[in-house]
């Protein structure tokens, strides 16, 4: 029960890594506000409540800044000041085609940057000042090994996720003296609804780059996120923890 009496906000909580994180942090005592653009986020809350945990859901487009400000204010008014913030939203433009960078559409870059980087900055801007004033808080931002192990056609996503790490490190240094810790986690290939749709040849190619020889599970990343968010990591800040089975090693 590392998070007994604490409150958490988790974005992208409808599925995958952040759903697993929300379920686990609630099981360890936190009251959790689960945010996602998908209405399926309510299913995460149902799972938490069925296990005896406390959670609420909000459907939110994190690129709508006015809605972000209003929603986060509402959450904190109802469940109290935020102890733990986990930013998990991210999306590439690979599904829209366009191929390599020189053939890509600049409009797609801006969408990816807004979703995968700017949303993290905007949410932190709303929550972290309160943590700083209270002298306590933990933030974990989810990046990706995509910026450590470059993959063709993912230039915009790699740029955004590299930006998440850079932003994390600066914010961590600025808030360290105020008792706030800010870290990042960079997952490698993980079994999620999105990766399960990959064709066999894609999975085989990706698998060949993972020294441990398998895709990770969302729970593998959730464990790393919760460690960094917990008091066990009280002397760790400004770090990026790669959870990729050896992929993206530096």
Instruction: Say if CB 180 and CB 228 are below 8 A apart.
Output: no
215 annotated active-site: no
At residue 103's C-alpha, the angle toward residues 102 and 105, to 5°, is 105
pLDDT score for 195: 82
- Domain for residue 250, yes or no? no
Select which of 3, 147, 157, 167 is catalytic.
Answer: 157
pLDDT for residue 193: 77
Q: Is residue 202 a part of any domain in this protein?
A: yes
Query: What residues make up the domain containing 230?
Result: 7-238
Token couple for 215: 């895709």
**18 inside domain:** yes
pLDDT tens string 209-235: 888 989 999 999 999 999 999 999 999
pLDDT tens by residue, 64-105: 999 999 999 999 999 999 999 999 999 887 767 667 889 888
* Residue 181 lies inside a defined structural domain of this protein: yes
Whether residue 95 is contained in a domain is answered as: yes
For the stretch 145-189, pLDDT in tens is: 989 988 888 899 999 999 999 999 999 999 999 999 999 999 999
Instruction: Count the domains in the chain.
Output: 1
- Tell me the CATH number at 169: 3.40.50.720
The predicted pLDDT at position 64 comes to 96
Residue 105 included in any domain: yes
Residue 1 lies in a domain: no
User: Is residue 216 assigned to a domain?
Assistant: yes
Q: How confident is the model at residue 194 (pLDDT cuts 50, 70, 90)?
A: confident
Give the model confidence (pLDDT) of 109-154 as tens digits: 999 999 999 999 999 999 999 999 999 999 999 999 989 988 888 8
3-class secondary structure per residue, 154-212: CHHHHHHHHHHHHHHHHHHHHHHHHCEEEEEEEECCECCHHHHCCCHHHHHHHHCCCCC
- The pTM score is 0.94
Tens digit of pLDDT for each residue in 11-43? 999 999 999 999 999 999 999 999 999 999 999
């Amino acid at each position: 029960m590392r998070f007994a009496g604490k409150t958490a906000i988790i974005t992208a909580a409808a599925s995958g890594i952040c759903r697993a994180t929300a379920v686990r942090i609630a099981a360890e005592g936190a009251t959790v506000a689960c945010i996602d653009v998908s209405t399926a986020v309510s299913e995460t809350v149902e799972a938490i409540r069925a296990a005896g945990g406390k959670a609420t859901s909000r459907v939110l487009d994190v690129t709508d800044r006015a809605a972000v400000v209003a929603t986060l204010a509402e959450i904190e008014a109802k469940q109290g000041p935020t102890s733990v913030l986990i930013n998990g939203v991210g999306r590439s433009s690979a599904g829209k085609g366009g191929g390599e960078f020189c053939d890509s559409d600049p409009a797609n870059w801006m969408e990816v940057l807004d979703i995968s980087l700017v949303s993290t900055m905007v949410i932190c801007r709303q929550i972290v000042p309160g943590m700083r004033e209270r002298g306590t808080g933990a933030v974990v931002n989810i990046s990706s090994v995509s910026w450590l192990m470059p993959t063709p056609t993912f230039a915009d996503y790699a740029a955004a996720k590299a930006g998440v790490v850079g932003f994390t490190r600066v914010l961590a240094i600025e808030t360290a003296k105020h008792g706030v810790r800010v870290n990042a986690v960079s997952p490698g290939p993980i079994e999620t609804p999105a990766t399960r749709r990959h064709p066999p040849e894609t999975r085989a190619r990706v698998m060949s780059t993972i020294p441990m020889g398998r895709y990770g599970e969302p729970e593998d990343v959730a464990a790393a996120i919760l460690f960094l968010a917990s008091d066990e990591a009280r002397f760790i800040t400004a770090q990026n923890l790669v959870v990729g089975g050896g992929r993206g090693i530096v």
